[in-house]
């Protein structure tokens, strides 16, 4: 790490937007730990919700930040973001590190300055239109989608072409990088705050748990429908724009509890007491299943995406093959016939810690940018 800091004393970290803390923002925090004094460049910046390491950094928001309502409706500004990132002047920096799942990598790279992209994913909604199913998109906007998505895909490929090193957050994302960008990458799994959860007491009850943002592509309604089919109790913690579908699925089933947003303390209590975490969506990596296993909580997950890399089928949880209530219900019944040791779950999760991320990413950058 010291060699990396000496070699690149002035670092620019580029991130999509700094509005709501989440898994990709944890990567930004770790990058600031790796490169103290680095400057942040982002499309939209809300200074309110960040810890001191972010709030105390030098943050450069793009011109989009001046648009009224941008902090709340930043996704609607996506067609303008590549142009916004290209307004940044990154001359004078020794290294650019982008944290990318949309347009952050599309900044202008000064001659001779290496650009490392930590890729959460190529732009998923540009390449996989099924992710837009269930989203509240008006008729006129849907008519405009085909040319817009075509332009976003073109910008995604063009932005990737100039990268000196791509680090993918999972093997699943590395496959997408090969498919869409025609580029190779090295895999470094993202940081997960497992240390605190490893010591969480396990007191399992009968209910299952869904935790996280409730948005259409996560298909929380499948977990609700599966538990309704089996008559199993389920607690759903979280909120989001997919809540209406979940509420309809839960109607008439008193064993399904919709808790809304919960505190960190309540989340820990829910993880301590749940029988297993249900994870019916496809994620690029998936932080929540790792957090659950760190707490000793088994995971029942859809067998696509990052869950295949973080859940050991039959040992730390169960994987199911179809995104249907019936397939998940079958997995729940299979899980109930198993005896899963919480210690195995914790040991599996321990390999995804924060310090490990910094060490692996530093090693990948040193090797990938080794002078020829």
Residue 265: strand, helix, or coil: helix
Q: Considering only 105-119, 131-145, 189-203, which range has the smallest mean pLDDT?
A: 131-145
258 has a pLDDT exceeding 60: yes
On whether both 177 and 246 belong to a single domain, the answer is no
Q: 200 versus 125: which is more confidently predicted?
A: 200
On whether both 112 and 209 belong to a single domain, the answer is no
On whether both 270 and 318 belong to a single domain, the answer is yes
Calpha distance 154→47 (Å, rounded) = 32
Residue the block writes with tokens 């016939």: 337
Give the residue numbers spanning the domain of 277: 195-351
**Percentage of the chain exceeding pLDDT 90:** 84
On whether both 167 and 210 belong to a single domain, the answer is no
The residues, ordered by sequence, that sit 6+ positions from 242 with a Cβ below 8 Å of its Cβ are 134, 214, 215, 216, 218, 220, 221
> For 273-289, what is the mean pLDDT?
95
DSSP 8-state secondary structure symbol assigned to residue 76 = G
Domain containing residue 83: CATH number: 3.40.50.2000
Which residue(s) pair with 166 in the sheet?
117
Give the C-alpha distances (Å, rounded to integers) separating 61 from 14, 38, 81, 304, 342.
Answer: 10, 15, 11, 35, 44
Element (H, E) at 315: none
Q: 132 versus 244: which is more confidently predicted?
A: 244
Give the C-alpha distances (Å, rounded to integers) separating 211 from 84, 218, 235, 309, 347.
Answer: 34, 11, 8, 19, 21
Calpha distance 318→332 (Å, rounded) = 8
- Please count the structural domains in the chain: 2
| pLDDT the model gives residue 207 | 96
On whether both 142 and 265 belong to a single domain, the answer is no
On whether both 162 and 179 belong to a single domain, the answer is yes
| pLDDT the model gives residue 55 | 94
163-175 pLDDT, tens per residue? 999 999 999 999 9
138 has a pLDDT exceeding 60: no
Give the C-alpha distances (Å, rounded to integers) separating 8 from 168, 317, 338, 365.
Answer: 21, 42, 51, 11
144 has a pLDDT exceeding 80: no
On whether both 200 and 280 belong to a single domain, the answer is yes
| pLDDT the model gives residue 87 | 97
On whether both 36 and 132 belong to a single domain, the answer is yes
Concatenated DSSP letters for 183-234? ---EE-PPP---HHHHTPPP---S-EEEES---GGG-HHHHHHHHHHHT--E
On whether both 143 and 183 belong to a single domain, the answer is yes
Tokens representing residue 4 in the block: 């990396």
On whether both 262 and 328 belong to a single domain, the answer is yes
Structural contact between residues 88 and 62, judged by C-beta atoms closer than 8 angstroms:
yes
On whether both 236 and 131 belong to a single domain, the answer is no
- Extended beta strands in 48-114, E state: 58-61, 95-100
Which residue(s) pair with 9 in the sheet?
none
What is the rounded average pLDDT for all residues in the chain? 93
The residues, ordered by sequence, that sit 6+ positions from 228 with a Cβ below 8 Å of its Cβ are 249, 250, 253, 255, 256, 325
Q: 133 versus 322: which is more confidently predicted?
A: 322
140 has a pLDDT exceeding 70: no
> For 138-158, what is the mean pLDDT?
81
| pLDDT the model gives residue 127 | 87
| pLDDT the model gives residue 50 | 95
Half-sphere exposure of 261 (CA within 13 A, CB side): 3
92-118 pLDDT, tens per residue? 999 999 999 999 999 999 999 999 999
The pairing of strands 39-42 and 234-237 is unpaired
| pLDDT the model gives residue 241 | 87
370 has a pLDDT exceeding 90: no
Q: What is the CA radius of gyration of the chain?
A: 21
Q: How many beta carbons lie within 10 A of that of residue 67, not counting itself?
A: 15
Structural contact between residues 124 and 215, judged by C-beta atoms closer than 8 angstroms:
no
On whether both 217 and 324 belong to a single domain, the answer is yes
| pLDDT the model gives residue 132 | 57
């Amino acid at each position: 790490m010291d060699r990396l800091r000496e070699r690149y004393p002035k670092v620019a970290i580029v991130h999509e937007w700094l509005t709501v803390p989440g898994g990709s923002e944890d990567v930004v925090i770790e990058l600031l730990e790796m490169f103290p004094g680095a400057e942040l460049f982002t499309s939209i910046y809300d200074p309110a919700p960040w810890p001191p390491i972010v709030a105390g950094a030098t943050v450069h928001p793009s011109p989009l930040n001046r648009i009224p309502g941008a902090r709340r409706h930043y996704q609607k500004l996506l067609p303008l973001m590549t142009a916004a990132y290209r307004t940044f002047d990154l001359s004078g920096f020794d290294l650019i590190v982008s944290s990318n799942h949309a347009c952050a990598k599309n900044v202008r790279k000064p001659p001779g300055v290496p650009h490392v992209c930590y890729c959460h994913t190529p732009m998923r909604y540009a390449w996989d239109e099924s992710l837009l199913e269930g989203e509240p998109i008006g008729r006129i906007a849907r008519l405009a989608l085909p040319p817009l998505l075509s332009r976003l895909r073109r910008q995604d490929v063009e932005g990737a072409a100039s990268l000196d090193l791509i680090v993918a957050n999972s093997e699943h994302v590395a496959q997408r990088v090969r498919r869409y960008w025609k580029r190779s990458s090295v895999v470094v799994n993202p940081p997960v705050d497992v240390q605190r959860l490893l010591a969480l007491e396990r007191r399992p009850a009968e209910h299952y748990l869904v935790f996280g943002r409730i948005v259409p592509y996560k298909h929380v309604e499948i977990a609700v429908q599966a538990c309704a089919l089996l008559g199993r109790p389920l607690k759903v913690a979280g909120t989001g724009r997919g809540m209406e579908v979940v509420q309809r699925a839960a109607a008439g089933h008193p064993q399904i509890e919709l808790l809304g947003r919960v505190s960190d303390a309540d989340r820990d209590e829910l993880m301590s007491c749940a029988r297993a975490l249900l994870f019916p969506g496809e994620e690029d990596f998936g932080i929540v299943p790792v957090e659950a296993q760190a707490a000793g909580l088994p995971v029942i997950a859809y067998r696509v995406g990052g869950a295949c890399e973080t859940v050991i089928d039959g040992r730390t949880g169960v994987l199911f093959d179809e995104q249907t209530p019936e397939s998940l219900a079958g997995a729940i019944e299979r899980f109930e016939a198993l005896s899963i040791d919480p210690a195995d779950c914790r040991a599996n999760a321990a390999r995804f810690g924060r310090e490990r991320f910094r060490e692996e990413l530093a090693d990948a950058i040193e090797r990938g940018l080794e002078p020829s």
